[in-house]
């Protein structure tokens, strides 16, 4: 016995502090691991939900099918109408898809020159539809540019133009898309055509 244990009258016992890591049953370690896994799953699920449902796509400042000033696109989104902005972007994406399809048809025509009639009729229909849609997008952008400059010069007059024309412009783009819906659908359903 040690001198200290003599004074207290206790026998000396080895001291083993209980800690979660040295727990002989492993129950505490298992609980900690399970807790970490649950937290990791919850965090991963939260990130995926945010990424899919809540994260907004960045504002596009350029159109791929035609030159439009970035400030005009931002003005359309911020001041005129987000629906008009979305229709502009959608129509631009459709025009790019049509360009891709025209390139594909050209390659098919070169590969099978004896079938030129099939390819030529499809190409002409697609070119005509693309031209109609591009004209509508161009006309809307010309109107938006006039509206933007008016708004920059005289806010109250520009705001009046925005109120009176935003619905019409949004419908013009929607009607152009709707008018070519069967052609757009045909291109989108073909994985080789949609790019």
Please state the domain extents for the chain. Answer: 14-55, 70-194
Average pLDDT of the chain is 84
Residues contacting residue 60 through CB under 8 Å, at least 6 positions apart: 73, 89
pTM of the predicted model as reported, rounded to 2 decimal places: 0.69
- Which pLDDT score is estimated for 126? 94
Distance separating the N- and C-terminal Cα atoms of the chain: 86
* Half-sphere exposure for 43 (CA within 13 Å, toward CB): 6
- Which pLDDT score is estimated for 82? 93
Provide mean pLDDT across the span 82-95: 95
Closest CA to 177 of 126, 133, 123, 130: 133
- Which pLDDT score is estimated for 117? 86
Q: How far is Cα 33 from Cα 19, in angstroms, rounded to an integer?
A: 15
Q: How far is Cα 171 from Cα 79, in angstroms, rounded to an integer?
A: 17
| Inter-residue contact 195 to 97 (CB < 8 Å) | yes
Q: Where are the beta strands (DSSP E) in the chain?
A: none
pLDDT in tens, 12-56: 555 555 555 555 566 777 787 888 888 888 888 777 776 667 666
pLDDT in tens, 115-143: 888 889 999 999 999 999 999 999 999 99
pLDDT in tens, 59-88: 788 999 999 999 999 999 999 999 999 999
**CA distances for 87 relative to 15, 21, 129, 153, angstroms:** 75, 60, 17, 26
Q: What is the CA radius of gyration of the chain?
A: 33
Q: Which contacts of 185-194 are long-range, i.e. CB under 8 A and separated by 24 or more positions? A: 187/97, 187/98, 187/101, 188/97, 192/104, 193/97, 193/100, 193/101, 193/104, 194/97, 194/100
């Amino acid at each position: 016995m040690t001198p200290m244990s003599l004074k207290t009258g206790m026998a000396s016992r080895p001291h083993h502090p209980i800690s979660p890591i040295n727990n002989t049953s492993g129950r505490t370690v298992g609980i900690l691991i399970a807790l970490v896994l649950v937290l990791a799953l919850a965090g991963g699920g939260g990130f995926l939900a945010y990424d899919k449902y809540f994260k907004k796509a960045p504002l596009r400042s350029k159109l791929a099918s035609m030159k439009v000033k970035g400030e005009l696109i931002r003005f359309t989104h911020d001041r005129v109408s987000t629906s008009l902005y979305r229709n502009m972007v959608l129509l631009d994406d459709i025009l790019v898809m049509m360009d891709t399809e025209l390139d594909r048809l050209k390659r098919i025509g070169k590969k099978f020159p004896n079938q030129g009639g099939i390819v030529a009729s499809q190409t002409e229909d697609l070119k005509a539809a693309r031209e109609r849609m591009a004209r509508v997008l161009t006309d809307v952008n010309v109107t938006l540019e006039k509206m933007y400059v008016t708004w920059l010069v005289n806010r109250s007059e520009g705001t009046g133009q925005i109120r009176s024309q935003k619905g019409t412009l949004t419908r013009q783009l929607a009607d152009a898309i709707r008018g070519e819906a069967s052609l757009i659908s045909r291109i989108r359903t073909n994985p080789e055509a949609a790019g």
